[in-house]
Amino acid sequence: MIETKGAQTSARLAEAMLDLVQRHGYSGTGLNTVLQHAGAPKGSLYFHFPQGKEELGEKAVELAARQFRSLVTDQALASASPIEVVRRVIDTLADLFTDSDFQLGCPVSVVTLEMGAQSERLREACANAFESWIAPVTDQLVAHGRPRPAARATATAVVSMVEGALILSRAQRSTEPLSCAAEALAVLLNDGAEASA
């Protein structure tokens, strides 16, 4: 399906917002900078996002959610076990951090921390993003024999630990927290597998 010029511009604006939020945070990202980064004409922002920065931020969070969910589901299809999925996802995130010289952060956690108490719209978008990551991990664990309630609790812990490790890795400019999270999650997932066997 061929995208219209308008759809392409809208997508470029959301991608630019996402990239800038990852690097500078939501508050540190101005709309003029987004337009410049996207190579979009000035009038296009309010044409595509009439509610301004908040609407554009919501679309950027939704885009980040889709990208990370795709990463998880792609790894789930390519891996034999939940432990392998988690290790591959963490390795991919570590590579992204290293390649960006630790400039990129998780845009969903950034927006949650900056705007979650100020904007119900953005808080809800972030909650939906996290849920979209918990759900496929839950499904993967259920497919490997875990009861759904236990699988969901474990999946929530997995996403929480990875998010925390991303924050520590960025602060320390090191992938060691991600490596530590991978090791701890391997123990958690292995213990859970033994318990459900």
| pLDDT interval class at 193 (50, 70, 90) | low
Does 195 have pLDDT greater than 70? no
| pLDDT interval class at 105 (50, 70, 90) | confident
What separation in angstroms does the CA of 57 have from each of 62, 97, 126, 156?
A: 9, 22, 10, 24
| pLDDT interval class at 77 (50, 70, 90) | confident
Does 3 have pLDDT greater than 70? no
CA 104 remoteness from chain centre: 11
What separation in angstroms does the CA of 155 have from each of 53, 137, 150, 189?
A: 32, 5, 9, 10
Does 1 have pLDDT greater than 70? no
| pLDDT interval class at 173 (50, 70, 90) | very high
Q: What is the pLDDT of residues 175-187, one digit of tens each?
A: 999 999 999 999 9
The H-or-E segment that residue 134 falls in is: helix 120-143
Write down how long the chain is: 197
Burial 35-48 (b: 16+ CB within 10 A, else e): bebbebeeebbeeb
Residue 40 is predicted with a pLDDT of 92
Q: What is the pLDDT of residues 39-57, one digit of tens each?
A: 999 889 999 999 999 999 9
Q: What is the pLDDT of residues 133-152, one digit of tens each?
A: 999 999 999 999 999 999 99
Section 104-115 average pLDDT: 93
E strands, the chain, in order: none
Does 197 have pLDDT greater than 60? no
With helix as H, strand as E and coil as C, how does 42-76 read?
CCHHHHHCCCCHHHHHHHHHHHHHHHHHHHHHHHH
How far is 16 from 10, CA to CA, in rounded Å?
10
Structure tokens at 100: 């960006």
Q: In degrees, to the nearest 5, what angle opens at C-alpha 114 toward C-alphas 130 and 159?
A: 25
CATH architecture, domain 5-196: Orthogonal Bundle (1.10)
8 A C-beta contact, residue 181 and residue 165: yes
Does 166 have pLDDT greater than 80? yes
How far is 117 from 40, CA to CA, in rounded Å?
31
Domain boundaries, the chain: 5-196
